[in-house]
Structure 1
């Protein structure tokens, strides 16, 4: 074996704790190797302010970062630095000592900050004439931009774009504005009306004709309508819009359901009838409560045992922290069937395996009358 002269760095005091060792999962190793071979920038970014646990983001995924202690010390060594110190040519210099590594694990995007920054910034028909070039609104509130979100929100760029679509957040001259649910429903209802009045196919409608009709007849900005149509369909070659029928039907159903919270549940049959009326005869047979999973509770309120009633209960308003999420769920109901609780976990677990781990950690399974129910492992007090 070759022999080397081993030295501590003359700058060891300044360099102490300046190195971190990250263990890469296999998919990141593949990305790194491909980037080296193709000379294509990898685009790894670590995000998080001093009050947050840092995450590492690729172009399309987010990874949590946690510290794992090592049983043995690792030495970070390099060839001698190019300084006036007289090291032998084959010397090895110890630059740092490591007693821990950083471990990466796939994580769901952390978008609660985004929701908080946009609270009270809803966009509706009253905003169509706003001066969008001002950086501060007339009430003194500052605007939050897509550029800021890419820098601050702990999510990859691809995941952020998906989040904006799912949360129905518009980008207007780089500013982010969540669209008012009532205004969104109005736009969708008008779109269905335009398809009928203009004799346009919902699977290949002219995007230009749709946005023109919505602007000319109803005063809806083309910037707004084009983004809404992209949320609820696919823009194809030749400027054709193919509607995602289930997404449109779902949103119209949510528009009705939002009016029926804890103190005003709606009878299931009456709700379905109103929903079918809203979507029209063309799509009435596509109406299904499965489209609204994770947005409602079903039950028989006291004094109304003859019918099932629905209550608006969206998972998007629940805490993103798993412990707090389960606490809220079990404060709402003391026990859940697996098919009822799982829709409320999809946004806090990266896949079904992680979801099942959460169920094992926070729930206890019990059997009653041949059915499996989940109850809380801990007692959550209101």
Structure 2
């Protein structure tokens, strides 16, 4: 006997009649004339197996995505905690319980679906195919993109002459979307942030020395032609360097380090402005990465001399890239990139307080803000993992390890 036959036998033994419905209405002290002329008798599936149905709670924005036919994608490898992604946002999926039982009933009739032509009451039998006490809720979270750089490190680009030496896996955009827990828009933003390059359909990082060489070609050309750093002709730059660097790499590098000004040269060439923050930051990395700790005064002098004429270096350019410790004698600058810190908040704070016992809010924020969705999230992280106290010299609040003396 199959399940449908079992259900029919079960229903025959407890089938509802119109008299039963009328009795219930009377007991409830309701007037049958005030009710819709359709009564639905519910029957439960006699099956002890766990339901295959899962309930997912959607907020207004996610519901609109579904209603508009947009995609919601669950992403994560086997060892990852699953996330749900829209085109531009990422949500963590968390299990939750409800004290009320939720009944899953296909083809249930709602009041607005009852035809007006019915004059006499009818009974519809409906099957409860699942009783659900658990559901999944979604919370907006930061995209989990830190692994992108680690994935791309195995196939860094060092120049055409070295391509036959590349043995690591190369990843297309589709490959990364299968692995990285983020939305399409967040992935594009993360690739731009780490300055990844699309080379023949695969996203790759430039090897550091090669990267420096390409940027130096651009900066030297600007200097040789005495172009103001905010009046750099794009086409002339690309054409002048086309024999030194592959055109796709050169154009992407130019795009990372410049922005359109909306003006044109006398020859009709669109003019671009070199991004002071990005150029200064990369050249700071060139100086700091091989040096370990650098005397701060000597570093600042060498750094300013390395940037194009007209640009002004600033300590702010080092946010998330280096530590500046003015309490040492003499003060020092140290290469300390945020991108290489642990993703786990507890481990990250442990490392931060290991390298530096006390932090100001301004100094520590660049090293933790990526773990938090907003300023309130930064405050919450500090409240959980750090201890705040007022500076003895009255210069503001400082943060130390929660269990430090």
> Normalising by the residue count of structure 2, what TM-score does the alignment of the two structures yield?
0.78
The equivalent residue for 1:298 is: 324
Unaligned runs of 5+ in 1: 36-40, 81-87, 132-136
Q: Residues 40-93 of structure 1, C-alpha deviation per residue, up to 9 Å, x if partnerless? A: x4121110122110111111111111111212221111128xxxxxxx972322
| C-alpha contact (below 8 Å) 2:155/2:167 kept by paired residues | no
The equivalent residue for 1:352 is: 375
User: Hey, what's the Cα distance between the residues in 2 that align with 1:243 and 1:98?
Assistant: 58
The equivalent residue for 2:190 is: 163
**1:244 and 2:275 aligned:** yes
The equivalent residue for 1:147 is: 174
Q: Residues 233-276 of structure 1, C-alpha deviation per residue, up to 9 Å, x if partnerless? A: 33578765443222222222222121232xxx111121111111
The equivalent residue for 1:38 is: none
**1:62 and 2:90 aligned:** yes
The equivalent residue for 1:330 is: 353
The equivalent residue for 2:336 is: 313
User: Hey, what's the Cα distance between the residues in 2 that align with 1:378 and 1:90?
Assistant: 66
Q: Residues 216-243 of structure 1, C-alpha deviation per residue, up to 9 Å, x if partnerless? A: 2xx2111111111222233578765443
Say which SS state the counterpart of residue 242 (structure 2) adopts.
helix
- After TM superposition, the structure 1 = structure 2 runs for residues 69-84 of structure 1, keeping only pairs within 5 Å, are 69-79=97-107
1:45–1:204 Cα change, 3 Å: farther
**1:341 and 2:364 aligned:** yes
1:300–1:292 Cα change, 3 Å: closer
Compute the RMSD of aligned alpha carbons.
2.7
User: Hey, what's the Cα distance between the residues in 1 that align with 2:391 and 2:185?
Assistant: 43
Q: Which moved more, 1:153-162 or 1:234-243?
A: 234-243
Superposed displacement of residue 279, structure 1 = 0.9
Superposed displacement of residue 120, structure 1 = 3.3
Q: Residues 121-161 of structure 1, C-alpha deviation per residue, up to 9 Å, x if partnerless? A: 2222xx22356xxxxx5564332322200222111111111
Number of residue pairs the alignment of both structures matches: 348
Q: Residues 331-360 of structure 1, C-alpha deviation per residue, up to 9 Å, x if partnerless? A: 222332222211101221111111111111
**1:5 and 2:41 aligned:** yes
User: Hey, what's the Cα distance between the residues in 1 that align with 2:66 and 2:173?
Assistant: 27
Larger radius of gyration: 2
User: Hey, what's the Cα distance between the residues in 2 that align with 1:129 and 1:270?
Assistant: 37
Unaligned runs of 5+ in 2: 1-34, 109-121, 263-268
User: Hey, what's the Cα distance between the residues in 1 that align with 2:142 and 2:52?
Assistant: 29
- After TM superposition, the structure 1 = structure 2 runs for residues 16-27 of structure 1, keeping only pairs within 5 Å, are 16-27=50-61
User: Hey, what's the Cα distance between the residues in 2 that align with 1:155 and 1:290?
Assistant: 28
**1:375 and 2:403 aligned:** no
The equivalent residue for 1:128 is: 160
Superposed displacement of residue 378, structure 1 = 4.8
> Normalising by the residue count of structure 1, what TM-score does the alignment of the two structures yield?
0.82
**1:50 and 2:78 aligned:** yes
Say which SS state the counterpart of residue 21 (structure 1) adopts.
coil
**1:179 and 2:210 aligned:** no
Say which SS state the counterpart of residue 155 (structure 2) adopts.
coil
Say which SS state the counterpart of residue 369 (structure 2) adopts.
coil
